[in-house]
Amino acid sequence: MARLIPVKDPVGRGNRFLFGWVKERFPTVPWADVTRQSVETVQRQLPRSHTEKYELKTVWYWYPLYCLGGISFVAFLITVITGIILGFYYIPDGSDVFTPEGVPTNMAKLSLACINGDSDCPLAPVPFGFIIRGMHHWSAHMMIAAVFLHMLRVYFTGAYKKPRELNWLLGVILLLLTLLFGYSGYLLPGNDLSGGAATIGINMAKASPGPPWLGIFLANLLFAGTDVLTANYILRMYWFHVFILPLVGTLLMILHMALVWVQGVAEPH
């Protein structure tokens, strides 16, 4: 008769079996060790706050302004989340069609009308779409404002100086990317603002300093044409807005924040 061995700690055994199966295939322990070591040795200041790192008891009245970079990042996250939702309903088609009354319109504008719950929506309106679009709009504005103010804070505290020069350059690039985010974003609805801004953009691209072929190349690259009448710029801008800019921007933002983490926040005494 087999002796019944009471199983001690059945939950633990189950866990060990389950996670052991995973660990045999994906050995995570060495990686965790390396990470912990780097946290504990190389980046000893990592979990420390600013005031702890510099052993400050005083709170300078500028410190509230030190949250502006974080605010712009949080606003960016909100635009990403709401932007993903908007992407389900938005139609990036800017080619002109005409209503039975002969009024020009386009699918981008009509899909926006459905998202916004406007009366000219040809399909079913998107429930709470106006909230999602409003959040995308306002958090984008908040992000741009926060980026500007963040840059001013860094400028006025002299935080761009050694050793943070490269991070400042990265920040300038991120500022330009943010402006491009905004610009490509308000070209997407296919409304009158979009058309007018695309006209200006195409003209400025064509006039870019240099020989004429360069401007034509840039206009073709960015706006898919050199004339706002024929250029299908909305699809092009959609691709910039939802793929290229988020990809490059997110990578650079992570790099930007990683450098802040490594170099610390400036403490101008």
Residues in region 1-60 near other proteins by CB under 8 A = 47-58, 60
Strands 97-98 and 104-105, by their bridges, are antiparallel
Retrieve residue 16's tokens: 């060990």
Q: Is 71 in the site for other proteins (CB under 8 A)?
A: yes
Minimum distance of other proteins from residue 89's CB (angstroms): 13
Retrieve residue 2's tokens: 């087999």
Residues in region 116-145 near other proteins by CB under 8 A = 116, 118, 130-131, 133-135, 137-139, 141-142, 144-145
Minimum distance of other proteins from residue 159's CB (angstroms): 5
Residue from 65, 74, 248, 252 touching other proteins (CB under 8 A): that is: 74
Residue from 69, 83, 90, 113 touching other proteins (CB under 8 A): that is: 113
Q: Is 199 in the site for other proteins (CB under 8 A)?
A: yes
Minimum distance of other proteins from residue 253's CB (angstroms): 16
Backbone angles phi, psi at 265, to 5 degrees: -90, 140
Q: Is 162 in the site for other proteins (CB under 8 A)?
A: yes
Residue from 32, 123, 179, 258 touching other proteins (CB under 8 A): that is: 179
Q: Is 92 in the site for other proteins (CB under 8 A)?
A: no
Using alpha carbons, select from 107, 106, 105, 131 the residue that is nearest to residue 117.
131
CB 182 within 8 A of CB 115: no
Minimum distance of other proteins from residue 259's CB (angstroms): 13
Using alpha carbons, select from 139, 138, 140, 116 the residue that is nearest to residue 126.
116
User: At 54, which amino acid appears?
Assistant: Y
Retrieve residue 68's tokens: 């502006």
CB 172 within 8 A of CB 183: no
Residue from 86, 112, 219, 242 touching other proteins (CB under 8 A): that is: 112
H runs (alpha helix) in 38-128: 50-53, 68-89, 107-116
Q: Is 246 in the site for other proteins (CB under 8 A)?
A: no
Whether residue 163 has a cis bond before it, omega within 30° of 0: yes
Minimum distance of other proteins from residue 79's CB (angstroms): 10
Residue from 161, 247, 254, 262 touching other proteins (CB under 8 A): that is: 161
CB 160 within 8 A of CB 64: no
Using alpha carbons, select from 256, 265, 259 the residue that is nearest to residue 170.
256
Q: How many binding residues for other proteins (CB under 8 A)?
A: 93
Complex with other proteins: residue 74 or 259, whichever CB lies closer:
74
